[in-house]
Structure 1
Amino acid sequence: MSKIIVIGSISTDFVVTTDIRPEIGETITGNDFKTTFGGKGANQAIAASRLGGEVQMIGAVGADVFGDQLLQNLSENNIDVYNVERVTHLPSGSAHITLMNNDNAIIYIPGANDAVTVEKMTALAPILEASDLVIIQNETPQEVVEKVIRFGNENKIKVLYNPAPARIIEKGLMEQATYFTPNESEFHLLFPGLTASQGVERYPNKLFITLGSKGVLYHNGNKEVLVPSYKVQPLDTTGAGDTFNGAFAVAIASGMPIEESVRFGNLAASLSIQKFGAQGGMPTLEEMKRSPFYEKTWHIK
């Protein structure tokens, strides 16, 4: 079983479903409201755990009822939460999601997720060194992201960096990450003036651009490869990218070749968007194996 460490956000999602979005100053009646578990870090951790990874979470939650529920949810998904800190000076993180026509708009409040520090990463260096792969995203303080990627590069630890939500970072940092997985809009923010083809050619087997329903684009060192998505009818696309990242991480950490790892991630994402909620649709390995698209050559260790 692959040892995967996820450093990132742990949040509660407050989801409103509506047919229209209100204008400034306008009040409308929505269709539904749900509270679900989220945070890009927690989402990716759960996606990886359900697919067979041995996952440890590093992060922080508040000393509030939401923090209690978030920790319980991670534990129930077989994730080690020993290094998730409880803080008293900040509330647990939250995301406020408007779902309309099978697409979403999100306002993210970091809260306790901003309490993760560089000093904590230094203290946890032996745990990072013992992992097969580390995942980190941008719902974590920038200095922590930089510390983890540089530490991984210096110590030959595989680091998967998902630069979401998008923010400008130095190009040298991207070169030090083992795998780099922006979506199309994040790519264009980070690489202004470059086409997707130019970007993946510059970073072969490192840069993987997720293109939603089109699939995932990367360069294998010899040619550009577009790994198509699996065509399904989506119910809720929230968490699809996180599902891909968690699944891709499990496959790569298990020694699966890159293109097969991308297909494995695409299949997991396609299953996730057929159910409601960021984590609600994330498939188990057994559910993946029941899919007619599951490949017999995929062996998760």
Structure 2
Amino acid sequence: MSATVEGDRLDLFVAGIVYLDIIFTGLPELPAPGTEVWTHGMGSSPGGIANLAVAASRLGVRTGLSSPMSSDAYGEFCWQILSREENVDLSASRRFDDWHSPVTVSLAYERDRSMITHGHPAPATVDGLVGELPAARSAYVSLEREPVPWVRRAQRAGTLVFADAGWDATGSWSAEALSVLDHCHAFLPNAVEAMRYTHTGSPDAALRALAERVPVAVVTCGPAGALALDGRTGEEASVPGIPVEALDPTGAGDVFGAGFVTGTLAGWPLGDRLAFANLVAALSVQHFGGSLSAPGWGDIADWWRTTRTRATRGHAEAEVARRYAFLDEVIPTGQIRQVRRATATIARLSDAR
């Protein structure tokens, strides 16, 4: 089964489960037992692996997705957004009539979130769906307790494999889960995950431990920024966080990963890749809705124009402008399409033009 675009290989191939995300934000408080809380903010969007796929596609990365998806109304909503509006190639995905879409309800509150998920085991494994591996310059995978056979095949085919970590609900944080890194180009966990897996006490110590396992190690530190180390060349980079008003952090890690993949495929220096990933993740938390909070190039261009204007007003803005000066060379010229944002309804039509 091929997921190539118009006969050419993909820039990025991802595989995983697509959820329907329903997000409530602007909560004055979390509901206590027996109470009801009203809020003004709600959005619906494809979630799970769709967060990464949409974020990458919006940055011009030709992205293919392999996922089992239901033919129910939720699945149809997600399928149409991904394939028709976000230009994600779904030819390696499959629809199922006798299975309903998994659903996650996210409550965004005080710069963090709580989630409730409902679903049943998928009718097909992701590795089974992949079949013949699509030709792709890069691929992205999340660490699993079970082996992911297609990752080894991707590496052997010359694909750069990027990996991140999910939360280990068992609490074991076993080093065996890191065995997939033997076939990966880069690993991008958050600071808590990195320290738990490496049994270290700081993000920097975790970074250096991970750099012994994978060519490029990255540790994200939320609002504090991110660290990276290329163990092959010894190149290091560190970027501070970008102050923004955070509405919903859902999917920010996936948006960061998409930004880092974009810079890697474009051949940017490590520092620019890290800064760009940090920027797009920061822009994403200003909207709610996981995948549909991901910025497009128009959002990035708007931020850059504002930042350059403010750079003459203070030292902090000037430092930011110097760090992101490379954007002058990478932001596409010409008209940039508007991107869709999450809305309360399961909308049949997009608000993007």
Q: TM-score range by the shorter chain?
A: 0.7 to 0.9
Any stretches of 5+ residues in structure 2 without a counterpart? 1-8, 305-320, 333-353
TM-score, scaled to structure 1:
0.86
The structure having more radius of gyration, on CA atoms, is 2
| 2:111 paired residue number | 102
Over the residues paired in the alignment, what is the CA RMSD in angstroms? 2.5
| 1:280 paired residue number | 292
| 2:250 paired residue number | 238
- The offset of 1:19, in angstroms, is 2.1
CA distance in structure 2 between the partners assigned to 1:103 and 1:282 by the alignment: 17
Classify the secondary structure of the residue corresponding to 1:185. helix
| 1:179 paired residue number | 186
| 2:278 paired residue number | 266
- Correspondent of 1:152 among 134, 151, 154: 154
Does 2:60 align with 1:52? Answer: yes
Classify the secondary structure of the residue corresponding to 2:292. coil
| 1:296 paired residue number | 328
Cα offsets for 1:30-49 (capped at 9, x unmatched): 32463411323101110000
Q: Name the count of aligned residue pairs.
A: 292
**Runs of 4+ in structure 1 over 6 Å off:** none
- Correspondent of 1:120 among 129, 140, 143: 129
For 1:24-173, list aligned pairs within 5 A.
25-32=33-40, 34-75=42-83, 76-109=85-118, 111=120, 115-121=124-130, 123-125=131-133, 127=134, 130-137=135-142, 142-143=145-146, 146-166=148-168, 168=173, 170=176, 171-173=178-180
Identity %: 24
Cα offsets for 1:33-75 (capped at 9, x unmatched): 6341132310111000011111111111112111111100101
Report if aligned partners of 2:69, 2:94 keep a CA contact under 8 Å in 1. Answer: yes
CA distance in structure 2 between the partners assigned to 1:27 and 1:38 by the alignment: 29
Cα offsets for 1:174-231 (capped at 9, x unmatched): 2332111111222233223453222221333522111001111122343653222222
CA distance in structure 1 between the partners assigned to 2:60 and 2:294 by the alignment: 13
- Correspondent of 2:209 among 195, 202, 208: 202
| 1:7 paired residue number | 15
Classify the secondary structure of the residue corresponding to 2:30. coil
C-alpha change, 1:206 and 1:175, in structure 2 (3 Å) is farther
- The offset of 1:150, in angstroms, is 2.4
Q: Which amino acid aligns with 1:250?
A: T
Does 2:229 align with 1:219? Answer: yes
Does 2:294 align with 1:253? Answer: no
CA distance in structure 2 between the partners assigned to 1:212 and 1:96 by the alignment: 22
Q: Which amino acid aligns with 1:50?
A: R
| Structure 1 stretch displaced more, 95-104 or 200-209 | 200-209
Q: Which amino acid aligns with 1:68?
A: E
TM-score, scaled to structure 2:
0.74
